[in-house]
Amino acid sequence: MTKKLDPITLDLIENALLNARFEMDSVVTRVALSPVIREQHDEFPMICNPAGQMVVGQFGSYIPEIVEQYKNNINEGDIFVWNDPYACKGSISHNNDWCVMMPIFHEGHHVGYSSIFGHMVDTGGKVPGSMPADAYTIWEEGLRVPPVKIYEDGKLNEGVLQIMLNNSRTPDMNRADLMALIAGCRTAAKRVQEICDRFGRDSYLTACDELMSRTREAMRVLISKYIPEEPVTFTDYVDDDGVGNGPFKLHLSIYKKGEVAVIDWTGTDDQAEGPINFHIHEGLCKLFFGVYMIMAFDPKIMFNEGFYDLFEIILPEGSLLNPKFPAALSNRLNTHTRFFDCQAGALGQQAPHLSMAAGYGTSPHFIFTGTDENGKYFQLMELLFGGVPGRPRDDGLDGHAWWPLFSATPIEYIENYYPVIVERYRPVQDAGGAGLHRGGAGIEKVYRVLASGSISIHDDREVVPPWGINGGLHGGTSSKWVVRAGKDEPERIPSKTDSVKVEPGDRIIFITAGSGGWGDPLERPVEKVLKDVRDGLVSRQKAECDYGVLIGEDLTVDENGTEALRKSQRKERGEPAPFDFGFIPGVHEAAE
């Protein structure tokens, strides 16, 4: 094997791999049928080395578990599929994620793996969409498939495919989406083979090793610089579990032991009765922390699994982050994204100038099902977005996704394929927490249904606000409403609910949470506050009480009054607090 590559060759192979990874995305979204993958891009690809370690991609960690199960029975022409979180040690975290893995060979030699998982619209279970808000076990959440060969020696296993499709309410969409994932993996395999042809197989494998080593060294520097030897801790909460319990605590401690960063979740609440448990794989936990540190502290670093030995993970068994089978998992994103908020809160204490506040807190989704005027079953599922937090460089993003490549479903697509009219889609005023850099606003989306059916809604941060940091204030919370046809008064509905009956003309008002602000709002330039007011993102009242800026009805600033007000507010407030959590019912009441 080549001992060391010259920098130019390494750079060429790195960029060829990155291009192949993005080509996987393009192929999947062009072949898929469901709006969740085709329009919103809820799929995550990666390319791995022969040991199953991610070299490029978004989610790693799971290949070695599958290889261990099949040992020497992995051959050219095989493609694997699975969706059971417990059968792959939490590498995928609920039944809706179907994962495909393909070994890559070059001239008969094994050189790696390609893999993608994507969210299927429906995999069976007790409710349409397969994510029941009131599930107590994973048995209620749809079909569970352990790792099996969907292709063996290049031949499709029709029996496996039919079993998977027969248990879905949307078999046509699932089939198209599964074949899209397979096509993405095949695309990556072809590109890796071409790289091996161009540069030589040994050079390719050496490049994979060097890319991993380079990332490891960069992470070692970040850990040395930003992780302290004395533990820093942070606590945040999930509203509820969908079956009447909550709030639920996530508690994180981070410290350094030699060169290794210890990530300790001891103190996190026990697993929930309802489906908010997040069965996270230890390797995936390492990846999340590594990615966060790279993006916050040095975005030039290419993230891969090269740094895994620099992290030690403690996930107490039976906790919200390491539940025991058969705990329900379908709505684990409420906990998953709070995991990210805890990361930001803990790591931000060591580098406040590089930290960010808390965001909208989950992956809100809206499901509408029924039978249209032609007697055909339909199932609309849409992921919604909220406020992305204020950050060191600028304001947070309004109505944006946590995941970088996600996008909103075009309204034209929804209205063309489903009996729904989207009447309103706009940012929520005053939802972004005040700060030197304002938190991103949540969104208000109003659906008017044109057919009888039922809806499911899953969201969070209705009770626990997204906190602000470095003097920034907390952001606005979420809420959900139904306005029945012919009536004016809206009915409040829970943030986690299923099987709400609707009739033609009913409107659903879906309001997502905002995010926390970053930095002292009294330091925000007056002209930026004025622009936010003119754009409808901040009210005149909030401009006065949170930012100390007096704006008249004619939308002009009273400069002298503003200067005096800000001086008075600084004196009355004193030094800004490092965090602003707002009021958390069930937590602050208990503390009092």
Q: Are residues 554 and 499 in the same domain?
A: no
- Residue 475 near residue 466 (C-beta atoms within 8 A): yes
User: Cα(341)–Cα(205) distance, rounded to whole angstroms?
Assistant: 36
| Residue 589 confidence (pLDDT) | 58
For residues 538 and 495, membership in a common domain is answered with: no
Distance of CA 491 to the CA centre of its chain: 29
Q: Which residues pair with 491 in a beta bridge?
A: 482
Strand, coil or helix: 365: strand
Locate 160 and state its tokens: 């496996």
Q: Is 311 part of any domain?
A: no
Q: Are residues 496 and 375 in the same domain?
A: yes
Give the gyration radius of the chain's Cα atoms. 25
What DSSP character marks residue 127? S
- pLDDT tens across 528-547, in order? 999 999 999 999 999 999 99
Which of these, 78, 254, 53, 60, lies nearest to 151 by C-alpha position? 78
| Structure token digits, residue 128 | 């349409």
Confirm whether 251 is domain-assigned: no
Which tens digits make up the pLDDT trace of 501-529?
A: 999 999 999 999 999 999 999 999 999 99
The reply to whether 71 and 189 lie within a common domain is yes
The answer, yes or no, to whether residue 96 has pLDDT greater than 70, is yes
413 and 538 share one domain: no
Q: Is 360 exposed, middle or buried (0-12, 13-18, 19+ CB in 10 A)?
A: buried
Flag whether 244 is in a domain. Answer: no
The model's confidence at residue 284, banded by pLDDT at 50, 70 and 90, is confident
Total count of residues recorded for the chain: 592
**Tens-place pLDDT, residues 475-494:** 999 999 999 999 999 999 99
Q: How far is CA 391 from the centre of its chain?
A: 18
Q: What's the token pair of residue 177? A: 């989406």
C-alpha separations of 179 from 116, 144, 174, 184, 538 in Å? 11, 19, 8, 9, 46
Both tokens of 386, joined, read 């909220």
Looking at the domain assignment, is residue 205 inside a domain? yes
Please state, in angstroms and as integers, the Cα–Cα distance from residue 429 to each residue in 253, 267, 327, 442, 516, following that order. 35, 36, 38, 8, 14
Query: Helix (H, G, I), strand (E, B), or coil: what is residue 457?
Result: strand
Alpha carbon distance 379, 464 (integer Å) = 30
| pLDDT for position 1 | 47
- At 203, list the tokens: 């050079």
199 and 113 inside one domain: yes
Residue entry with tokens 């959590």? 581
Q: What is the pLDDT of residues 104-142, one digit of tens each?
A: 999 999 999 999 999 999 999 999 999 999 999 999 999
Q: Give me the residues paired with residue 260 across strands.
A: 257
- Is residue 508 in some structural domain? yes
Give the pLDDT of residue 592: 46
- Could you tell me how many helices (H) and strands (E) the chain has, helices first? 13, 22
Domain end position, chosen among 168, 185, 217: 217
* 491 and 545 fall within a common domain: no
Q: Is residue 314 part of a domain?
A: no
Instruction: Decide: helix, strand or coil at residue 19.
Output: helix
Whether 450 and 534 map to the same domain: the answer is no
Cis peptide before 147 (omega within 30 of 0): no
Q: Which residues form the domain of 373?
A: 356-520
Alpha carbon 442 to chain centroid distance?
16
Are 49 and 198 in a shared domain? Answer: yes
> Of 29, 34, 65, 33, whose CA–CA distance to 45 is shortest?
29
Neighbours of 236 (CB within 10 A): 27
- Examine the domain organization and report whether 446 and 529 are in the same domain: no
Residues 539 and 466 in one domain: no
Q: Report pLDDT for 46.
A: 95
Last residue of a domain, one of 190, 217, 244: 217
Amino acid identity of residue 518, one-letter, is W
Token pair recorded at residue 433: 């927490």
Number of domain units in the chain? 3
**H or E segment to which residue 57 belongs:** strand 54-57
The pLDDT value given to residue 2: 53
Whole-prediction pTM: 0.94
Last residue of a domain, one of 149, 184, 217: 217
| Structure-block tokens of residue 327 | 């705990």
In a domain, 426, yes or no: yes
Whether residue 172 lies inside any domain: the answer is yes
Same domain, 551 and 495: no
Strand (E) or helix (H) holding 379: strand 377-383
pLDDT digits over 164-206, tens only?
999 999 999 999 999 999 999 999 999 999 999 999 999 999 9
Is 176 buried (19+), middle (13-18) or exposed (0-12) by CB count in 10 A? middle
Q: Provide the Cα torsion 296, 299, 302, 304; round to 10°.
A: 10
Residue 586 main-chain phi, psi, to 5 deg: 85, -15
Q: Assess whether the previous peptide bond of 326 is cis (omega < 30° from 0).
A: yes
